[in-house]
Amino acid sequence: MKAYRFLLLDADGTLLDFDKDMDHAFRATYETCFSSQRPFSQELLDCYETCNSRWWQKLERGECTKPQLVVARFVDFLRETGLSGVPEEINRLYFENLGQGGALLPGALELVRDLAQRYQLYIVTNGNAATQKPRLARSGLRGYVKEYFVSEDAGATKPDKRYFDYVFARIPGFSKESALLIGDSPTSDMRGAQNAGVDSLWYNPKGETLPEGMAVTYQAERFEEIRQLLLP
């Protein structure tokens, strides 16, 4: 294991429980916008998740912009469910509800607390600043990390090298050789690390297979394995 100084930590799916926050936000939004049209069901939530994932994948491939994504996912949702509404207004309310989240994955706070005793920690996250910053603030992580870098503020998203150029320019004394990026997404985090020229640790709790042609420096399926690697 190299002697790292800077740990670049993804948020959603790595530290924050996005599924829990998203579930709450979508249910609250649905109640306001659609409950008079059709009772809520898991099928409707699954449909939204599919639409949302589809557009995030397009964003990561550079096929759309973030402003297009946040509206288009609800355009697709309305079309596929037959529900009616104004996509822009639905997204605005969804962002308000999502910003009320901040749930952490079990053990995440303790891991970050312990890592902060040895490393400089920075959050590197895609998303909307109006939702990510309140969620991170509510999570309790703020006291252990130096800074949050949200893609909306950077004007580019992971895995785009421009996002990481923005981040690196704002970390005092930063060097790529002393940095390790930890994240759960092969497409945004691990490919982002490759594009940025830094080492990577793939947090892979589901035991998935790494996409062909992609390389990572380390892998871990549990937080305890990250501890063993970084806090021997």
Characterize 174-197 residue by residue with b for buried, 16 or more Cβ atoms within 10 angstroms of its Cβ, and e for exposed. Answer: beeebbbbbbbbbebbbbbbbbbe
C-alpha atoms less than 13 angstroms from C-alpha of 121 in its C-beta half-sphere: 21
Alpha-carbon distance of 203 to 182, in angstroms, equals 7
21 is catalytic: no
Q: Say if residue 206 is exposed, middle or buried (CB neighbours under 10 Å; 0-12, 13-18, 19+).
A: exposed
Catalytic residues: 10
